[in-house]
Amino acid sequence: MSVSPEPTASPPERNPESAAVSAADVQRVMIAPNPIIEEVRLSRLREPFAVLPFARLPADQVITPSKPGNPELQRRYVKEKDLTELWAKITELQERVVSSVRADRTNTDAYQRDLLYARTLLLESDANYEEAYQVYYLVKADLERELRVAADTRRYRLPLVIYHLIWLAATVLAIGLDERFRALIPESVSIMKLAWLPILSGVFGALFNGMMAIHEHTTIRRDFDPIHLTWYLLNPIIGGMLGLVVFILFVVSASTFTANLITRPADELQSSLVIWLLAFIVGWQQNIVIQLLNRFLKALTPNQPPARPTASELTAPAEPPRQS
C-alpha cells in the first residue's frame, strides 16, 4: 500500500483546533520517496517459516542402474542371501505402504512404483544391489516421515487450535478494557490512549495467520513440524507488539503534520479504522514489517567495507624477463 508523494510546495492546511486522527494522516505515513516500500509485495501471505512444498521425484530419475562391475567383487560382497533378504524387505515395505494408504493415494502409488523399480533392478543384475537398497531406503524414509507427521498432527493440532481460540476469546473480551487502558495513560502522552485497539487488531491478525498455518501444515501440505511450536505460542504476542509499533510509527509521522498531536486532550482525539487495518495486516503477515525494517536499516547503513580480496586478485603473474 503506497500513495504517490504530494507536492512539497505547500503542506495541506489543517484546523489547529482539531487533532483528529484521520485516514489522510495514515496515508502520509505510507508515503515513500524511495523504493523501500515499493519492493515489498503482498503476493503471498504466510507464516515466517513457510517453504514451498518439496517436489518428490520418482526413484528412476534419482537412482540409475549400475554399469557392469567386477564379477569377483560382486560375488565376494553380495551374497545370494543378501539378495533374498533385500527382496523380502521390499515385499514387507510394500505391505506397509498399502496398510498406510490415505484417502489421497498419490504417495501410495508413487511408493509402489518405486518399489517395483527396485525389484526390477534386482532382476536385471545383482550388480544393482546397492541401487535397489537405495530405492528401498528412499521409500522407507518418506513413509516414516508421513507417519511421524501424522502422529505429531494428532498430538499438537487440537491443543494449538484450543490455544488460539482462548487467545481469540480473551482478545474479544479485552476490547471492553479500552476505557481502563485510557485511564492508565497520562495526559502528557494522551495520543497513546488510542493504542489499545491497534494492539488488539495486531493480535487478531496474528491469530488469523496462526489458524491458517495450522490448517495449511496439518491438512493441506501435511508437513507439520513441532520444531515451530514456539512460533505458534508467541505469534499472538508478537502480533500485538507489531500493532503497537504500527501505531507508534503513525504517531511519529502524523506529529509532523499535526502540531502538538501527542499532548492534545483525549476528547479531541479519535481513532481511525485505517490504523486498525494496518495493525491487522502486520499481525497477519509479520514478514512485511521485518522486510521494511531491514530495508530501512539497509538504506541508513553506510556502505559496507569491501570484501577481503583473494590471493589471485592481489598477486599478478610475473612478467617474463625482456630480452635485451
Q: Do 139 and 156 lie in a common domain?
A: no
Q: Do 137 and 155 lie in a common domain?
A: no
- How many Å apart are CA 162 and CA 156, to the nearest integer? 10
* 69 confidence band (pLDDT: 50, 70, 90): low
* 9 confidence band (pLDDT: 50, 70, 90): very low
For the record, the C-alpha cell of 133 comes out as: 537398497
Q: Do 179 and 89 lie in a common domain?
A: no
- Closest-CA residue to 90 (of 66, 64, 117): 117
Say which residues have a Cβ less than 8 Å from residue 67's Cβ, sequence separation at least 6.
127
Q: Do 120 and 232 lie in a common domain?
A: no
Q: Do 96 and 233 lie in a common domain?
A: no
* 272 confidence band (pLDDT: 50, 70, 90): low
Please check whether residue 240 lies inside any domain of the structure: yes
Q: Do 111 and 212 lie in a common domain?
A: no
CB atoms within 10 A of CB 159: 11
Average pLDDT over residues 208-222: 92
Residue identified by cell 537405495 is 134
CB atoms within 10 A of CB 247: 26
Please check whether residue 48 lies inside any domain of the structure: no
Q: Do 277 and 137 lie in a common domain?
A: no
DSSP 8-state code for residue 310: P
pLDDT of amino acid 10: 44
* 64 confidence band (pLDDT: 50, 70, 90): confident
Please check whether residue 139 lies inside any domain of the structure: yes
Judge whether 66 and 130 are in contact, CB under 8 Å. Answer: yes
Q: Do 144 and 155 lie in a common domain?
A: no
CB atoms within 10 A of CB 130: 13
Q: Is the pLDDT of residue 38 over 80?
A: no
Chain centroid offset of residue 95 CA:
37
Number of domains making up the chain: 2
Q: Do 102 and 165 lie in a common domain?
A: no
For the record, the C-alpha cell of 24 comes out as: 489522510
Q: Do 140 and 168 lie in a common domain?
A: no
pLDDT of amino acid 115: 94
Helix (H, G, I), strand (E, B) or coil at 182: helix
Please check whether residue 287 lies inside any domain of the structure: yes
pLDDT of amino acid 304: 61
Q: Do 168 and 287 lie in a common domain?
A: yes
Q: How far is CA 258 from CA 45, 153, 207, 255, in A?
A: 34, 52, 34, 5
> Which amino acid, one-letter code, is at 240?
G
Judge whether 102 and 59 are in contact, CB under 8 Å. Answer: no
pLDDT of amino acid 24: 45
Q: Is the pLDDT of residue 296 over 60?
A: yes
Please check whether residue 324 lies inside any domain of the structure: no
Residue identified by cell 482539531 is 18
Please check whether residue 282 lies inside any domain of the structure: yes
- HSE of 86 in the Cβ direction (CA atoms, 13 Å)? 25
Please check whether residue 12 lies inside any domain of the structure: no
- Closest-CA residue to 228 (of 279, 152, 300, 165): 152
Q: Do 282 and 186 lie in a common domain?
A: yes
pLDDT of amino acid 174: 95
pTM: 0.68
Please check whether residue 47 lies inside any domain of the structure: no
Residue-number span of the structural domain to which 269 is assigned: 23-42+150-299
Q: What is the mean pLDDT of the chain?
A: 76
